[in-house]
Structure 1
Amino acid sequence: MTADPGFGVYVHWPFCAAKCPYCDFNSHVRHDPPDQARFTRAFATELAAMAARTPGRSVDSIFFGGGTPSLMAPATVGAILDEIARHWAFAPDVEITLEANPSSVEAERFRGYRSAGVNRVSLGVQALDDADLKALGRLHDVADALKAIGFARDTFPRLSFDLIYARPRQTVEAWRAELARALAFAADHLSVYQLTIEEGTRFADLHRAGKLVVPGPDLAADLYEATHAELDAAGLPAYEISNHAAPGAECRHNLVYWRYGEYVGVGPGAHGRLALADGRHATACEKVPERWLQSVETAGHGLVTDDLLTLDEQGDEFLLMGLRLREGIDLGRYELLSGRCLDRARLADLAGHGLVEVGPGRRLRATPAGFAVLDALVADLAA
């Protein structure tokens, strides 16, 4: 049986300096800066409420996501970390990650985050091409990105940065060259995502109007294959569909998600999964920052969802998350969570088509061909 997948705390800072046209995350632009002291008090209140439901846990990872957490003052980050430490023990090797945008980075601020306890930073670089950065709505250029990477490497024990591929007019040759340049600056982790058109975004409007053309499925597949070939050769294999790391440098917080661990989510729009006495709960907080703030100040939390998951829902989530990982899932744990076995005939058929394999310890994994059609594969298994 798989070892304990861990316990994490996710802190959502919902504010950005600008809204990227491809982004459907819960991020908000405000002309007046938020009252960080007031938000810090609200985070403390919500953390206390969540800690009362999850006593005795040891925190393996903490992740400040957004939005743009690097718009937070280092003192705000430090105060939130102090509150987390008041309620839970920290694992000796706890991972504390903060997402940062290169446009909101300076060396002094990074030193402040490090002093507060952050030991890993994830930079939203997205591209190493100035024209594409402008088209993506980013507020930084390549020079800013490389400067931020340098600050991060000098300040934090661990560093990752994000890139987006399948951008308009992108070729495989240009992408290979961009990856080679990225690898010259990368440490031991890269997150590489395919550009997708999400409903409710500016890109969706432009795409619908025919003003934004992205690579078709065949070119996107070629770009995906080039990504894996280049990063595999550089010693950063994919441990998850979009995440590549040197062995041992995987993002522990995301592994908590993908291994279906337990995590508390605090802040506007944050989600959580809690293993409580009556079963596994799915939680979600109010998305609008001002409404979340008011709810926390009046009710002690900002939860708008607190659902007890059925066995079927747990099994489906476990499949959806775990099959994203190269290591796959433990079929014994799936059976415990879902109360049922996967259909043997369906498994045999998928294996016969080279899409899955069952290895030692009854671990079910998607093959490289299976990863290319993972959504359909999971839907077939869950049916």
Structure 2
Amino acid sequence: MSTEGHNSRDPRSNGLFGIYVHWPFCAAKCPYCDFNSHVHRGPFDEVAYVEAYAQELAWFARQTPGRTVQSIFFGGGTPSLMQPRSVETIINEIGKHWTIDPRAEITLEANPTSVEADRFRGYRAAGVNRVSLGVQSLREKPLAELGRRHTVDEAVAAVRLAQSIFDRTSFDLIYARPHQTLEDWQDELTEALWLAQGHLSLYQLTIEMGTRYYDMFNAGKLQMPNEDLSADFYELTQELANSAGLPAYEISNHARPGQESRHNLIYWRYGEYVGVGPGAHGRLLINNQRHATATEKMPFDWQKRVASRGHGMVTDDVLTWEEEGDELLVMGLRLREGIDPRRFSMLSGRAISEKQIDELKAIGFVETLPNGFIRVTDKGWPVLDAVVADLAA
């Protein structure tokens, strides 16, 4: 990777730039989770570990001078296991190397246990202005089945506490779970919509390779909803959230206008982002080329790599124009606003096939907006992967 950066005049840039900070540690591994998360037992020097983040941030900053940071996102793993002073240190390090926009969104993912909620005021003092809570269910039995370590009462209390401390909050729920009925979900989601303020993330349960649920499913011990029932769950979700004033702006994310996750919009709008910490991914424009970066996944191997090299990066691929175009489609068509076909042409060096667009319009899966953007319709969203594949062909 060259050490020469770019500025917002780079023709391949849309001016969006964020920092993703991955904290890999969890108190327990949930059976559905395929994220890079690790349960660590025994002594742990958090101050020394955070120093590795400072070193890696400095290294990436040398590759990306002149950027303005619009968003910082602490994800995991479980960042709310970090001490507030660690979060403050990392934010300060980012501010040493880049300009942080005064309106920057600084989000921290948190579990709603009472222990972690006790740290919320410390995170706010450290500079965090948005919290995303991994509630996952408002029912006790599913919480236990999902491996969550909090109760429903703790979750509700944590959401309300977060709303009293932070300007913006969100929480996640998982639906289309084993044994869940549409009536169950209607009741649960109605409660969640009363509890939510500006933002809610609603994910259909998916079975991911490498998880305990994957093994159970393959052994016939986990009964998932069929395709028709899954579609019914999705339609009910859209209907209830729309009625509550939280329409979907992305396939699984709902917000009141102006409350959208700015960090995730950087991904979906195909901006630039630095990924630091174990297993973090990034997309960076260097000398008019887009680099796909990834760091070492194992937490302490990453730390050793940073100590010896200044960074933990194990992947640094320069994307072809075709790969950039494909990524723009995959990310951008998740959004209600759709994608600008002119930007696709500029990145990929080719136009989207008008024949493909017309065929998808004829079956009601895509539409062209007055501004010229192409977006997937409500009818097309449940088969988004197929729509993207058609347009990329």
- TM interval, shorter chain, is over 0.9
Partner of 2:61: 51
Match of 1:112 among 122, 126, 140: 122
Secondary structure (helix, strand or coil) at the match of 1:65 reads: strand
Q: Which amino acid aligns with 2:258?
A: G
* Separation in 2, partners of 1:239, 1:2: 24
Q: Secondary structure at the match of 2:39?
A: coil
Contact kept, 8 Å, 1:5 with 1:256, in 2: the verdict is no
* Residue 209 (str. 1) matches residue 219 (str. 2): yes
Partner of 1:259: 269
Counterparts of 1:84 and 1:290 in 2: how far apart (Å)?
22
Q: Tell whether the 8 Å contact from 2:81 to 2:116 is kept in structure 1 after alignment.
A: no
* Other-structure match for 1:248: 258
Say what the alpha-carbon RMSD is for the aligned residues: 1.4
Instruction: Report the secondary structure of 2:38's partner residue.
Output: coil
- Equivalence map 1:260-275=2 (5 Å): 260-275=270-285
Q: Tell me how far 1:214 sits from its aligned partner.
A: 1.2
* Equivalent residues of 1:286, 1:292 under 8 A apart: yes
| Unmatched segments (≥5 aa) in structure 1 | none
Q: How many residues align?
A: 383
2:93 maps to what in 1? 83
CA distance in structure 1 between the aligned counterparts of 2:220 and 2:313, rounded to whole angstroms = 39
Task: Tell whether the 8 Å contact from 2:249 to 2:335 is kept in structure 1 after alignment.
Answer: yes
Tell me how far 1:103 sits from its aligned partner: 2.1
Structure 1 equivalent of residue 163 of structure 2:
153
3-state SS, counterpart of residue 315 of structure 2: strand
Aligned-partner Cα distance in 1 for 2:259–2:15: 16
Q: Deviations over 1:246-271 (max 9, x none)?
A: 00000000000000000000000000
For 2:288 and 2:308, the matched residues in 1 are separated by 27
Distance change (3 Å), C-alpha of 1:10 and 1:351: same
> How far, CA to CA, are the matches of 2:77 and 2:43 in structure 1?
14
Contact 1:163 1:192 in 2 (8 A): yes
1:97-143 deviations in whole A, cap 9, x for unaligned?
A: 00000126445411000000000000000000000000001111101
1:138 matched residue in structure 2: 148
Match of 1:183 in 2: 193
- Pair 1:72-2:75 in alignment: no
| Residue 346 of structure 2 is aligned to residue 343 of structure 1 | no
Change (3 A) 1:105 1:363: farther
Q: Calculate percent identity across the aligned residue pairs.
A: 61
Distance 1:312 1:191 in 2: 31
Question: What do the CA deviations read for 1:319-365 (whole angstroms, capped 9, x no partner)?
Answer: 00000000000011000000000111111111111111112232010
Q: Which amino acid aligns with 2:37?
A: S
- TM-score normalised per structure 2: 0.96
Alignment of 1:213-252 (within 5 A): 213-252=223-262
Runs of 4+ in 1 over 6 A off after TM superposition: none
The reply to whether residue 280 of structure 1 matches residue 290 of structure 2 is: yes
Q: Which residue of 2 aligns with 1:292?
A: 302
Gaps of 5+ in 2: 1-10
Q: Does 1:304 align with 2:303?
A: no
